[in-house]
Each structure stands twice: as C-alpha cells, then as structure tokens.
C-alpha cells in the first residue's frame, strides 16, 4: 500500500474513495491525526495530512516519528510526501512541481531519530541519496508517460520556520546549493530511511523565495493560497496517475 503525506494545501484527497479512518497508536506518541485508508482507482492508499486534518500543527511541532511509524504499522510500503516550497532557482517558478533528489537540513530541536536510547541503540543510516532512487525513477517515468510536467531533481532545503526566510537567508541557502525551500521534509525523510520505507517527495512551488521574483519586498499570503489551490489539483492528478499506472505495471 502507498502512503501519501499531505502538506499545506493538501489536507484532504478528493480522489480517494474512503474505506475507513484509523487512529493508530505508536510508541512515539500521537500522529497528526487518524490515517485515512481507501482506494484510488481500486488501489489501496493511506493518506495522512502532516499538519492535521484541519491544518493546525506547525512544521516544528509535527510528530514526524509517530507519523512515519503509523504509516508503517498499517502496512505502507512506500511514501510519497507532498510539500509546498518557495522557489530559489530561476526555473522553480510558482506552480511548478519538482521531484527533488537532494536535501539540506537547517532545522533544529525536532525529534529526528528512532535510535535515541538504550532500547534503540545508535545507528547511522546511509543518507547519501535522501530519496529512494527507484521510487523517484518510477514517479518520473509515469509523469513523462502521462504527460504531467515534473522537474527532475533539485535540492530541497528544510528551514525551521514557521516564519518565511529573510532575503539574506535565501542567498545563503542558494550558495549552499538549495533550489527550493520548505519546512517539513526533515526529519521526515530521514525517519523513513531509518524505517527502511522508500520515500520520495513532490515539491510544489507556491511562491518565489524571499527576495526573488517580481515582488522582492514581501511574499503575499493571498498569492500563495491562490497558487496552492491550482498546484495541488495538479499534484493530486499526478498522484492518481502514479497509483493507477503502478497498479497496471508495477515496474513501469
């Protein structure tokens, strides 16, 4: 079963025919809410909005450990994470969807490992490629096959938030190699790796990063909300194609 972690603008999934909602208990506390389990084109899918069903949990307060653990507990074998981002690189314009292949982590104070005590001895996972290469390749192949625009690759910088960045911070992360900035894929991606759950992300550009684009002096929330709505419709369409095509030929 695929798991979908929804981000801002994706707190529900209209194309999912719901079978049930499951409250999953985990040793790591409460997930962001009940997991919605259903089918897309007949294929079982689990959906969990990481900010909660009513979008009430800010990025730094999300229980990432519980969320990933809950998905694995109910039988999820691969995770598609959806995250809204600000565009740093020139071609990461609002509305664009990217499939990042790298990551920079600027977050702090988040519970970022399952291996944190005597019962869970220290383990250093390999994280050279932070997203599952096979899942990425599969997503890209299906996007190309059905004609959904999707940028292949990019470095996602995870910021602490919840505020947006200063223009200088964006200049810094660009020097570091960032192409887009968001607030939620870390420690999520690392925890998925610790659980050996294949994980790939769809980064949806909803604004120019601070100091970029036409309005260099401020980022308009109204603009973000407008872009989000359109972009998330496209993301849902891409995920529907991904799930249905995968069920037709699992190694597409």
Tell me which stretch binds ligand HPA (CB under 6 A): 100-108, 127-135, 145-153, 157-165.
Answer: 157-165
For the CB of residue 125, give the shortest distance to ligand HPA in the complex, in Å.
25
- Taking CB under 6 A as the criterion, the residue among 207, 227, 241, 246 binding ligand HPA is 207
- Taking CB under 6 A as the criterion, the residue among 183, 200, 232, 235 binding ligand HPA is 183
From the CA atom positions of the chain, what is the Rg in Å? 17
Q: Hey, is 75 helix, strand or coil? A: coil
Residue 182 binds ligand HPA (CB under 6 A): yes
Residue partners of 49: CB distance under 8 A and separation at least 6:
5, 6, 7, 10, 11, 12, 32, 33, 55
Residue number, 70 or 164, with CB nearest to ligand HPA: 164
Question: How is residue 68 written in tokens?
Answer: 């990933």
Residue partners of 103: CB distance under 8 A and separation at least 6:
130, 131, 155, 156, 157, 158, 185, 186, 189
- Taking CB under 6 A as the criterion, the residue among 70, 197, 203, 206 binding ligand HPA is 206
Q: Hey, is 59 helix, strand or coil? A: helix
Using CA atoms in the order 142, 144, 146, 149, what is the torsion angle rounded to 10 degrees? 110
For the CB of residue 204, give the shortest distance to ligand HPA in the complex, in Å.
8
Using CB under 6 A, which residues numbered 20 to 59 contact ligand HPA? Answer: none
- Taking CB under 6 A as the criterion, the residue among 105, 165, 174, 194 binding ligand HPA is 165
Residue 227 binds ligand HPA (CB under 6 A): no
Residue 5 binds ligand HPA (CB under 6 A): no
Cis omega before residue 80 (within 30°)?
no
The contact set with ligand HPA (CB under 6 A) reads: 84-86, 159, 164-165, 181-183, 206-207, 209
């Amino acid at each position: 079963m695929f798991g979908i972690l929804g981000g801002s603008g994706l707190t529900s999934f209209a194309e999912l025919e719901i079978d049930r909602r499951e409250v999953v208990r985990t040793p790591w506390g409460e997930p962001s809410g009940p997991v919605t389990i259903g089918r897309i084109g007949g294929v079982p899918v689990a959906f969990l909005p990481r900010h909660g069903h009513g979008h009430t949990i800010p990025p730094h307060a999300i229980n990432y450990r519980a969320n990933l653990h809950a998905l694995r507990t109910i039988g999820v074998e691969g995770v598609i994470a959806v995250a809204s981002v600000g565009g740093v690189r020139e071609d990461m314009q609002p509305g664009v969807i990217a499939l990042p292949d790298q990551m920079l982590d600027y977050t702090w104070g988040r519970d970022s490992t399952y291996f944190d005590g005597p019962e869970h001895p220290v383990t250093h996972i390999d994280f050279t490629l932070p997203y599952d290469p096979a899942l990425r390749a599969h997503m890209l192949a299906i996007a190309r096959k059905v004609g959904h625009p999707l940028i292949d690759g990019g470095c996602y910088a995870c910021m602490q938030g919840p505020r947006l960045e200063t223009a200088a911070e964006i200049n810094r992360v660009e020097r570091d190699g960032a192409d887009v900035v968001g607030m939620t894929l870390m420690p999520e991606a690392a925890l998925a790796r610790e659980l050996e759950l294949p994980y790939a992300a769809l980064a949806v550009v909803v604004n120019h990063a601070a100091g970029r684009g036409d309005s260099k002096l401020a980022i308009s929330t109204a603009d973000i909300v407008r872009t989000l709505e359109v972009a998330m419709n496209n993301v849902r369409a891409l995920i529907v194609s991904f799930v249905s095509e995968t069920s037709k030929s699992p190694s597409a």
